[in-house]
Amino acid sequence: MQDIADAIGRDRVARVVDVFYEHVQAHPTLQAPFAGVHDWTSHKEILTHFWWVTLGGKRYIDYSYAVARKHNEAGFTPALLVDWLALFHEIVNAEIPPELAAGWIERAERIGQSLTYMHEVAQRGAAAPMGLYRPA
């Protein structure tokens, strides 16, 4: 998968994160899992870094991400991930040129697939394979 962070630019990544999470805070189903966020400025800075690195950018914050655990603790379900991805598609497509939006959305969808898989494994009470990030 091609790195696209530099083509998008850190300022645009931050803009997408900011606009997206402004919408999340008012979304009928997505606001509940994020009710525990008390410092949105810090949360958005961390998420901007997450997406920057996920898109191929160089780390500039020393932060360890626990994506599956944090989403699970927040109460995310596959149904909520569908809502999250739909809103994410809308915002990314509005803020980023189509050729760059597609690559970003593809990464988000892969993460969503992984989170859905991890949720299903947890519901069955089985342990997920170690090191799993993306289902095959």
pLDDT, average across residues 21-50: 94
First to last CA, the chain: 15
pLDDT band at 1 (very low <50, low <70, confident <90, very high): low
Please write the tens of the pLDDT for every residue from 84-103.
999 999 999 999 999 999 99
Cα torsion through 120, 64, 30, 97, rounded to 10 = -110
Per residue in 101-123, pLDDT (tens digit) is 999 999 999 998 888 887 777 77
Q: Which residue has better confidence, 13 or 74? A: 13
Angle between helices 78-95 and 98-124 (to 10 degrees): 170
Domains, the chain: 5-124 (1.10.490.10)
